[in-house]
Structure 1
């Protein structure tokens, strides 16, 4: 096949077919006219000339037709130029037979000039005009014995001017067609390449228009949804059917179409081949710059194995955390036990001085109390879990915590200012109110304790789309609680361990406050992040799902 781009505006083959038809039609009409005009007269030369011309044109046209149909490549310039020359000669014979300079068929030269301009580059159209003017003039002056008057000169000049003008326009049109053909070829190649990629892609791709009608579904998508390939055709309403197969899938696409907002993370399940599979879905919105609904594309893949691997990783992390926690607890218990043992050994050897005996006895009691408090706090922390789940007004809860912390000695005695910004109305989320209160209280109190004398703690509660959450939860929206303090901030090394049990940088702290925060947020399937505040100090950010996941 010819790899060169063809003109989408001007296909030479199509133009030549019309040229062949017009040529034979014109000559046949002249033959019929000559026969009718010579009826009753003895002069049959006009009929003979017209008939011979028609015969030659018929043979030439037939040969050109068969050559054109047989050839796979585009017609060459010599072939196209031969067609133009034949048509110029044929029109000249027609003009000669119908009166020469006064013939009504003289304007047909313009059609031949246009033919040359469309089929040949710019010089071809000019050549056809010059040849037409030359043959017309020779026939009018030499053959017809006419005089060179103003009308004849005007006609010849008109042919030449039209030839130049049409030649320029035709050449530009031809070049534009070639460029458009090149673009179409590139687009077709891109379409073929894209089709191959989408057909072999392991990720499902599903596109719907602004009405929720299917535009495209690749084979991988049909396989993941358990739909027979080709069962869903373009133009079908698929939103409700998607929700039946994969709960929530259609709703995610519908929100993307109606709101023009893509969904970054969404998980759903499908039943296929007697098994339950998990699909991870993300959407992208195709905005064409128009107001109103948009079309949207969903990308989804089987993440069942990935979810299982994540579960195993979490289990391993928990086991590792238990081991680390046990080591930390053993370290915390070791020091008081060592002190108690030393005191008991001295008491056992018999301490004579009453004052020394009293000191040792007090040390044993204090260290015993310390061990008891430590074990109680540890048992309390290890048993921390969500005991019930009900709608909680998180905004009111945060407001109450702020009021309680303002009255805490660490804030009141040191002049720490606690501000709270929260939305008007209810800020509801599903959770355990007592557990959430404990987590928020520990977080705000920790900020107060590190803010310094006359410091400042800022609390901000906002609702954000799920796509703005840098990790779990996988909900469509979440409540973001941000707590900033004016303290010294957190070093990168400490930030890695800030939520570990028994890790603390504050004198007198037990290292369980932020661990409780992390445990409570994790129980609510949320996320907690730590970083530096823009104005200095530390910034803790909690993300909690604003609604139940489907």
Structure 2
């Protein structure tokens, strides 16, 4: 059996010392932290403070802050001064505590710790903290969403319970009207009951429509067909009278993938809204054009989908600047018998299609609603099955 040979490997001995990190590295470390850092010596002199600390505390950086007593630098923050003053008085230092700055109203989350030297003596104290104001805003938005969701469920339940009695009132009033056909006063009063019951029912229907989630059923849609059908729906709501209505669709506008039923209702609401504002005279013009997708600004590589822009313009009385800011808010209306939900529902439908809607107006200059819808949906929806006769549509 052959002898195994071994080889000795010698490594040169070195007396290399660990590389010394200069003070600039530690300065950059502190300034790069995403939290506020504030440190004081045992004598109360300010040793460290970074830019985020200044911003979070609402203080302006001043030359010569380092080396001054922390109470002089933090004069506008008595809450922070009180915390630092207790740093050497108790062993129960706060960890993940919160405070609110009176002079700014900001909410601050913080942790306080001591700095010890090699002999274990307290050499100073450090305060790490973070501005929680934005977190509070997000939490409040979440709570608001929960409250609105609960309110929506309540509204849907109430509307459902009210809808059936209203239908009964309308039917019974109609029966009584036929029985009292020879009594003018009774017939007029019953006509009023039927009218008010229908209006109340319309409000209930709109409330249900607003609070219910929209289920998109996409299909290939011709914008020209949708606008033609929307006009017919609008005329069924509001008499057109002598209003001129014209539609211009640029030749390059393609069919879009969208929910045809929702689009018909969306544009019918906008057209009816224009008719109601114009009192039977004037002009409503609709123009549709193709907008090519821009390059995604995040990476400069991916193109956003092309979209179709539909402008609906009327030469009615216009909307004041104050009202224009609230025109899409639910239950806001300037009409004596309006519910204030029509345009809120329109915006909800546009958002469900990943689109945008904008209103521009001025008193005496008419109003323009601009709806922009992607040619293809940004989110992936299951496309309705197509048959040899064309796509299935809810018409």
Q: Is the pair's TM-score, using the shorter chain for normalization, greater than 0.5?
A: no
TM-score range, shorter chain: 0.3 to 0.5
- Structure number with the bigger relative contact order (C-alpha 8 A, sep ≥ 6) is 2
- Report the structure number with the largest CA radius of gyration: 1
TM-score under structure 1 normalisation?
A: 0.33
Higher strand share: 2
TM-score under structure 2 normalisation?
A: 0.45
